[in-house]
């Protein structure tokens, strides 16, 4: 049997249950706490401090003081720290994955994948730290010389979601630290433990006092968010989460014109054309739909299939899904874990019932899953045929292992349906035609397109959206630029 509880951690010190401010593990000033729950069993894993505006201001102050010296470190020094942190994460991959599975629910193998993905951002930004060149600008006035260079913005607030609590921290914080910013991390209330474990390793890697601070909160999240958005020392805020909260943060940051990166909700079209290979389409769909139990911002939400291949694809997909084991992520062979929240099950059931009421035909699943009396938030993997535009899933992310199959006839119709949407994060195309893959990629109103695959995540590829999916890019060459300010220097050479 594999590890199933915190007691199985090899490094016990990775299990931290306090906030981390100015290199101290601290409690909330009020003494208030909240519980972290395992969504597979509904058992309590830990109790952590409920911090508010006061502790947040303290964390920002510590980061601001630390910035005064950290900004003077060389890019190479910062790169070394990031590489050391990367190595420590990989050395402790089993423990980090276990903590992640226990608080988020994703299966252990997938959790290990997230830890490796998280580490890859540190290695990537260690390289990028030294590649933030400025330029020498050709001048119109021969008595002048002009050059540009880049400097870190200051304190960066990094607000991470519960669906990728480890990787979304390093995608933000790796870029911020590489640029020379200091950081305040605000993990989601559901998943603070993997974030706190990362802080242990970052401290061990040698980041200086105050460069890393973690504020834990659940019920006081609005208060913490307001402090981060209005505190004058915070110069950059990066958020991954819902479009609703992203808009609120943008409004709150407007007063001090903070630089923002917003990676918000999606509603990814997954378009299978008649010329697709069925096996490629099925495997890509499994990944795009069932990764993290359907709870990623780029999860395939509207599965659109051309009429000539519709029934064949639906049958093959349903057959393949029946082979996927659902259960507690610590159990061997589990591919689909629980949803992270009770309200996620409610939302999925609302979408399923709405589809049924509008003529959707359930091919598979369609109900919460009773796993031999296990209390967790499990849902049967579900496939629904005959989806139509008026259904809720057309407009909203279902964020659950529910496949809704829409039928289309022409490429134009597919593009029109895909773009009839307020958000634009990811999209997928399955086709054997190279010209079509170009045409459709160019026509889709999204920030990222996957062709003949079901995963858009790679540290070297810029991640982000357009429309109401937000702005800014994480990862890639662009990720570090979000934490830098460009300065021009104009020199009189006529003396
Ligand atoms: C997300 O869901 O926000 C991130 C997914 C990813 O990086 O793959």
Distances, alpha carbon 21 to alpha carbons 52, 208, 387, in Å: 13, 12, 50
Section 186-197 average pLDDT? 98
- Residues within 6 Å of ligand 1 by CB: 163-164, 240, 263, 296-298, 457, 463
Q: How far is the CA of 215 from the centre of ligand 1 (A)?
A: 22
Q: Tell which one of 167, 398, 460 to mutate to probe ligand 1, the residue whose CB is within 8 A of the most ligand atoms.
A: 167
* Contact in structure between 16 and 196 (CB atoms under 8 Å): yes
Section 247-266 average pLDDT? 97
Q: What are phi and psi of 91, to 5 degrees?
A: -65, -30
Annotated active-site residue 263? The verdict is: yes
Q: How far is the CA of 165 from the centre of ligand 1 (A)?
A: 10
The per-residue pLDDT for 270 is: 98
Tokens 């958000």, residue? 423
pLDDT band at 375 (very low <50, low <70, confident <90, very high): confident
The per-residue pLDDT for 147 is: 98
Q: How far is the CA of 268 from the centre of ligand 1 (A)?
A: 12
Domain ranges of the chain: 6-264+470-487, 268-459
pLDDT tens for each residue of 380-390: 999 999 999 99
pLDDT tens for each residue of 430-443: 999 999 999 999 99
| Position in ligand 1 atom list of the atom nearest CA 296 | 2
Distance CA 116, CA 240 (A): 19
Catalytic position from the list 263, 411, 468, 482: 263
pLDDT band at 234 (very low <50, low <70, confident <90, very high): very high
pLDDT band at 2 (very low <50, low <70, confident <90, very high): confident
pLDDT tens for each residue of 119-169: 999 999 999 999 999 999 999 999 999 999 999 999 999 999 999 999 999
* Superfamily (CATH H level) for 268-459: Aldehyde Dehydrogenase; Chain A, domain 2 (3.40.309.10)
pLDDT over 90 (residue 373) = no
Distance CA 38, CA 111 (A): 14
The per-residue pLDDT for 112 is: 98
Pick the CATH number of 6-264+470-487 from 3.40.50.450, 3.30.43.10, 3.40.605.10, 3.20.20.80: 3.40.605.10
* Contact in structure between 236 and 446 (CB atoms under 8 Å): no
Distance CA 242, CA 265 (A): 5
The per-residue pLDDT for 109 is: 98
Distance CA 231, CA 61 (A): 9
The per-residue pLDDT for 370 is: 85
The per-residue pLDDT for 483 is: 98
Q: Tell which one of 457, 459, 479 to mutate to probe ligand 1, the residue whose CB is within 8 A of the most ligand atoms.
A: 457
Using DSSP bridges, classify how beta strands 402-408 and 423-424 pair: parallel, antiparallel or unpaired: unpaired
pLDDT tens for each residue of 306-316: 999 999 999 99
* Contact in structure between 59 and 21 (CB atoms under 8 Å): yes
226 Cβ contact partners less than 8 Å away, ≥ 6 residues apart? 53, 252
pLDDT over 80 (residue 94) = yes
pLDDT over 90 (residue 456) = yes
| Position in ligand 1 atom list of the atom nearest CA 456 | 8
What six digits make up the tokens of 480? 């570090």
Distances, alpha carbon 135 to alpha carbons 150, 466, 473, 477, in Å: 10, 29, 22, 17
Distance CA 405, CA 270 (A): 10
The per-residue pLDDT for 342 is: 85
The per-residue pLDDT for 338 is: 97
Q: Average pLDDT over the chain, rounded to whole?
A: 97
pLDDT band at 495 (very low <50, low <70, confident <90, very high): confident
pLDDT band at 43 (very low <50, low <70, confident <90, very high): very high
Section 284-306 average pLDDT? 98
What six digits make up the tokens of 397? 């992310």
What are the start-end ranges of the H helices in 92-186?
93-104, 108-129, 167-179
Residue 102 host element (H or E): helix 93-104
Section 359-371 average pLDDT? 95
- Provide the percentage of residues in the chain whose pLDDT is more than 90: 97
Q: How far is the CA of 263 from the centre of ligand 1 (A)?
A: 9
The per-residue pLDDT for 427 is: 98
pLDDT over 80 (residue 22) = yes
């Amino acid at each position: 049997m594999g590890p199933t509880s915190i007691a199985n951690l090899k490094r016990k010190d990775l299990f931290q249950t306090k906030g981390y401010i100015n290199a101290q593990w601290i409690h909330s000033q009020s003494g208030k706490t909240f519980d972290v729950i395992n969504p597979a069993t509904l058992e309590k894993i830990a109790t952590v401090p409920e911090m508010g505006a006061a502790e947040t201001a303290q964390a920002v102050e510590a980061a601001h003081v630390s910035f005064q010296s950290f900004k003077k470190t060389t890019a190479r020094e910062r790169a070394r720290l990031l590489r050391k942190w990367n190595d420590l994460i990989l050395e402790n991959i089993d423990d980090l994955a276990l903590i992640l599975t226990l608080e988020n629910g994703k299966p252990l193998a997938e959790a290990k994948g997230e830890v490796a993905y998280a580490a890859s951002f540190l290695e990537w930004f260690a390289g990028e730290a030294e590649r933030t060149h400025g330029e020498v600008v050709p001048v119109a006035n021969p008595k002048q010389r002009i050059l540009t260079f880049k400097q870190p913005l200051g304190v960066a607030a990094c607000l991470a979601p519960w669906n990728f609590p480890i990787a979304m921290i390093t995608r933000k914080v790796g870029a911020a630290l590489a640029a020379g910013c200091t950081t305040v991390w605000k993990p989601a209330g559901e998943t603070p433990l993997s974030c706190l474990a990362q802080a242990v390793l970052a401290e061990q890697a040698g980041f200086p006092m105050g460069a890393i601070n973690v504020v834990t909160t659940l019920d006081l999240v609005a208060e913490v968010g307001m402090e981060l958005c209005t505190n004058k020392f915070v110069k950059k805020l990066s958020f991954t989460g819902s479009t609703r909260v992203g808009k609120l943060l943008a409004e709150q940051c407007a007063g001090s014109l903070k630089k923002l990166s917003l990676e918000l909700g999606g509603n990814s079209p997954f378009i299978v054309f008649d010329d697709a290979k069925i096996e490629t389409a099925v495997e890509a769909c499994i990944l795009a739909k069932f990764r993290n139990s359907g709870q990623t911002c780029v999860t395939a939400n509207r599965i659109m299939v051309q009429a000539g291949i519709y029934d064949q694809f639906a049958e093959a997909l349903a057959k393949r899904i029946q082979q996927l084991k659902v259960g507690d992520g610590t159990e061997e062979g589990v591919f689909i874990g629980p949803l992270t929240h009770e309200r996620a099950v409610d939302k999925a059931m609302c979408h399923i019932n709405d589809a049924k009421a509008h003529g959707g035909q359930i091919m598979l699943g369609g109900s919460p899953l009773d796993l031999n009396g296990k209390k967790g938030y499990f849902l049967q993997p579900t496939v629904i045929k005959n989806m139509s535009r008026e259904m809720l899933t057309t407009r909203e992310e279902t964020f659950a292992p529910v496949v809704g199959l829409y039928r289309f006839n022409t490429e134009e119709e597919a593009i029109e349906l895909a773009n009839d949407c307020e958000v634009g994060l990811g999209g997928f195309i399955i086709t054997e035609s190279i010209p079509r893959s170009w045409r459709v990629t160019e026509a889709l109103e999204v920030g990222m397109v996957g062709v003949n695959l079901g995963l858009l995540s790679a540290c070297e590829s810029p991640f982000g959206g357009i429309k109401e999916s937000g702005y800014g890019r994480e990862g890639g060459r662009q990720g570090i630029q979000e934490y830098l300010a460009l300065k021009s220097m104009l020199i009189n050479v006529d003396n």
